[in-house]
Amino acid sequence: QVHVVESGGGLVQAGDSLRLSCAPSELTFSSYAAGWFRQAPGKEREFVAAISKSGGNTYYRNSVAGRFTISRDNAKNTVYLQMNSLKSEDTAVYYCAAEPARIPGRLYTSESEYDYWGQGSQVTVSS
């Protein structure tokens, strides 16, 4: 069974930075588009950022654009989410997702488009 594993979460203060990593257990990540989602307590899971399998295309939700950067290193089979200038409202469990993509520039922003999910990594930002 394929697994996607997140790492790098933790407790930080407002204004700090944190980098999340996502690596699959059996996928060749270079063939997959990837995305990050998050779920805050009492709220529905929401899209955060997405990247195409080539890494050439990225997309962000408005509230994180300019603060978060999604990237990938296909040689290391890893996708990253660099989070800067963190705010208390960024507190959530962050999930990595992956989906096979035939087109190099294709990315996905909807939960329903992803077949492979990680267990989540807690990010807590104290104000």
Give tens-digit pLDDT for 59-100. Answer: 999 999 999 999 999 999 999 999 999 999 999 999 999 999
Question: Does residue 35 register a pLDDT over 70?
Answer: yes
Q: For residues 123 and 102, which has the higher predicted lDDT (pLDDT)?
A: 123
- Return the beta strands (E) in 18-101 as ranges: 18-24, 32-39, 46-51, 58-60, 68-73, 78-83, 92-100
Q: How far is CA 43 from CA 34, 38, 59, 126, in A?
A: 22, 10, 22, 18
Model confidence band, residue 17 (pLDDT cutoffs 50, 70, 90): very high
Residue found by looking up tokens 């408005």 in the block? 62
pLDDT of the residue at 126 = 97
Q: Which of 32, 19, 20, 18 shows the shortest CA–CA distance to 77?
A: 32
Give pLDDT, residue 55: 95
The pLDDT, as a whole number, for residue 1 is 59
Structure tokens belonging to residue 42: 């009492």
20-34 pLDDT, tens per residue? Answer: 999 988 778 889 999
Residue type, 30: S
- Residue 82: name the closest of 74, 72, 92, 91 by CA: 72
At 2, is the pLDDT very low, low, confident or very high (cuts 50, 70, 90)?
low
pLDDT reported for residue 9: 95
Predicted pLDDT of residue 79 = 96
Output the pLDDT for position 86: 98
CA-to-CA distance for 72 and 53, rounded, in angstroms? 9
Contacts of 53 (CB under 8 A, 6+ apart): 30, 31, 32, 33, 34, 101, 104, 106
